[in-house]
């Protein structure tokens, strides 16, 4: 662990310091293997287990391979129950929506109606009742090779991959009960990623040279119940009167949030370091990186008795919801979808860095360095409603071009920011006193995703 600031050598994200995690490397000198097994139970929750193992085997006297694998199940501790929260219009697992139940909007203080008829003003959560329902399942593996080329050079390729799936919700409603919620829809997530890396280490004379390159990609998907917010919008603003079906009548206004993402990143760094036993020593290098992030947030209103929580769209075959949000109110091309975020962000970074340390005496050292950087970040795509919802204040009504992302109806977002700069650093380090450090920090500007 390196104390901060470390922005000179490691970039803008290292102001507070840098933690380097070093995994065990393949060893060509011996065979080794091992495993661990674990079983557990959460107090007032479910059962869990974990298993992991590794094997290291030499291929030759100068090369080896190391394989690692793991699997883990974490038990749940939250119960989805047929509970009561009168202030949220929930009684014994039945939630009643004012507008759908026929109650006129009376302003921000519109009270909860009496429990309504399921399917005609109210819904229940009987389909989703489950104890200890917030489970987590993880599995993954890592493979690494090591090739020693002579006495001074080593090549280490590696790949690591992991997938995680979750069920349920990881908070609770104290009004309903300790470690309990009353939720009314599907709740789960899937997250998988893999990373490939190549490290080359060697010496040029007595100087250390290190190249590190990597490529990572990550895919995520999730869905969650958003009916709390639907109720809030209905009671406070009266939005329930806007949420109608193709027949013009108010629909069951529960919303579901569908999120997804695809992320990829590649990076390359080359650094050279002088011998550590010299009174004046230093490190210098270059760095280049590119990150791409596809961002997806879809808010669906599939209506009562839905069979397709994702809305009716060209990418799924889960069926049609006859009682969902009207096609005329939906984001074009995505029936039952009241809001869509479909964006792509790309970050490009380059840097040159150097740092020099002078050991003046055995008690005092002085360090100086800099990092020169250049970045170019862009964000484009679509976010918002259809042109007919809430007066068309955002979304389709603001589009200025054809779609540039996968399922967007058009483009209403296009931002780009780029800049160059440098980060200096100076440090005086007396052995028996706290070090004195001066540094500036400039965080690269960028555009956050529009929610």
Dump pLDDT digits (tens) for 100-129.
999 888 888 789 999 999 999 999 999 999
| pLDDT attached to residue 132 | 97
Burial of 356 (0-12, 13-18, 19+ CB in 10 A): middle
pTM for the structure as a whole: 0.86
SS3 call for 7:
helix
Res 449 pLDDT > 80: no
Q: What CA–CA distance (Å, rounded) separates 181 from 58?
A: 53
| pLDDT attached to residue 4 | 53
Length of the chain: 451
* Locus of tokens 């091309």: 333
Please say whether the beta carbons of 96 and 151 come within 8 A. Answer: no
Point out which residues pair with 170 in neighbouring strands: none
The residue among 164 and 18 whose pLDDT is bigger is 164
Q: What is the mean pLDDT of residues 370-392?
A: 91
Res 446 pLDDT > 80: no
The residue among 313 and 244 whose pLDDT is bigger is 244
């Amino acid at each position: 662990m390196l104390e901060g600031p470390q922005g000179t050598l490691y970039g803008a994200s290292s102001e507070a310091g840098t933690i380097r995690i070093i995994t065990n490397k393949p060893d060509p000198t011996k065979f080794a293997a091992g495993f661990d097994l674990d079983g557990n139970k959460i107090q007032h929750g479910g059962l869990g287990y974990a298993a992991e193992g590794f094997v290291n085997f030499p291929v030759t006297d100068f090369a080896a391979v190391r394989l690692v694998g793991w699997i883990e199940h974490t038990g749940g501790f939250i119960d989805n129950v047929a509970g009561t929260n009168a202030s949220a219009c929930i009684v014994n697992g039945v939630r009643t929506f004012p507008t759908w139940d026929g109650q006129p909007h009376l302003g921000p203080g519109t009270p909860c109606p009496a429990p309504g008829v399921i399917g005609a003003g109210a819904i229940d959560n009987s389909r989703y009742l489950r104890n200890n329902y917030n489970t987590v399942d993880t599995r993954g593996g890592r493979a690494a090779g090591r090739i020693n080329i002579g006495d001074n050079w080593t090549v280490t390729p590696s790949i690591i991959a992991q997938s995680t799936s979750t069920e349920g919700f990881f908070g609770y409603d104290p009004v309903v009960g300790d470690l309990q919620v009353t939720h009314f829809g599907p709740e789960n997530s899937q997250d998988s990623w893999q990373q490939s890396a190549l490290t080359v280490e060697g010496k040029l004379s007595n100087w250390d040279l290190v190249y590190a390159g990597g490529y990572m990609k990550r895919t995520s998907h999730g869905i969650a119940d958003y009916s709390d917010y639907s109720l809030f919008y209905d009671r406070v603003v009266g939005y329930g009167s806007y949420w109608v079906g193709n027949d013009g009548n108010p629909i069951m206004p529960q919303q579901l949030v569908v999120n997804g993402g695809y992320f990829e990143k590649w990076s390359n760094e080359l650094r050279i370091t002088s011998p550590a036993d010299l009174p004046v020593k230093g490190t210098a290098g270059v760095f280049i990186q590119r990150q791409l992030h596809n961002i997806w947030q879809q808010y669906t209103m599939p209506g009562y008795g839905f069979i397709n929580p994702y809305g009716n769209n060209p990418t799924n075959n889960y069926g049609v919801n006859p009682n969902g949000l009207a096609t005329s109110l939906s984001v074009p091309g995505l029936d039952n979808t009241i809001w869509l975020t479909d964006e792509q962000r790309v970050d490009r970074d380059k840097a040159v860095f150097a740092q020099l340390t002078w050991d003046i005496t055995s008690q005092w050292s002085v360090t100086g360095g800099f990092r020169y950087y250049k970045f170019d970040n862009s964000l484009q795509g679509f976010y918002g409603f259809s042109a007919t919802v809430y007066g068309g204040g955002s979304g389709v009504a603001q589009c200025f071009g054809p779609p540039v992302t996968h399922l967007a109806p058009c483009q209403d977002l296009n931002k780009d920011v780029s800049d160059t700069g440098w980060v200096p650093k100076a440090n005086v380090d007396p052995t028996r006193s706290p070090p004195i450090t001066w540094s500036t920090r400039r965080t690269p500007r960028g555009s956050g995703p529009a929610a």
